Amino acid sequence: MSITLIPSAEAASLRITGDIETKLTIPADPSFEFGGEPFMHAYYIALSDGSLLKAVRHDEPRWDVIIEGAGTIEIDPSGKTLTMHWGIEWITLATNCNASAVAQQSTRNLPLFHPELGNLTAIA
């Protein structure tokens, strides 16, 4: 069970073949040039196995694996396609325009022992 992702820069779409057969519209603006530097808009792909991918919509697509889920990801040596070897139930796309957030892992005081609340002893 697997799916293959095939982006199309000129059509602004992502074709999916395999267990899921569909064509999705890429929610990113086309590439543009600013100050002589080319800027390529990226978009994110979330898969039901827990994988999170970043893709760049351009004549030469680029794939970045942000979070590797349960499946095995295989990027074609030419970089044109990405194959996910796993039973995928759903896939979703999101734009790169400030539409993502990452949970920050930090330690916090337990409310039971919070120094500002004055309860520094455990309940017996």
pLDDT digits (tens, 9 = 90+) for 43-92: 889 999 999 998 876 667 788 899 999 999 999 988 889 999 999 899 99
Question: Which tokens go with 53?
Answer: 């991918």
- CA 124 – CA 115 distance, rounded (Å): 18
pTM tops 0.85, yes or no: no
Residue 100, pLDDT score: 52
Question: Which tokens go with 49?
Answer: 């196995």
- CA 119 – CA 122 distance, rounded (Å): 8
Length of the chain: 124
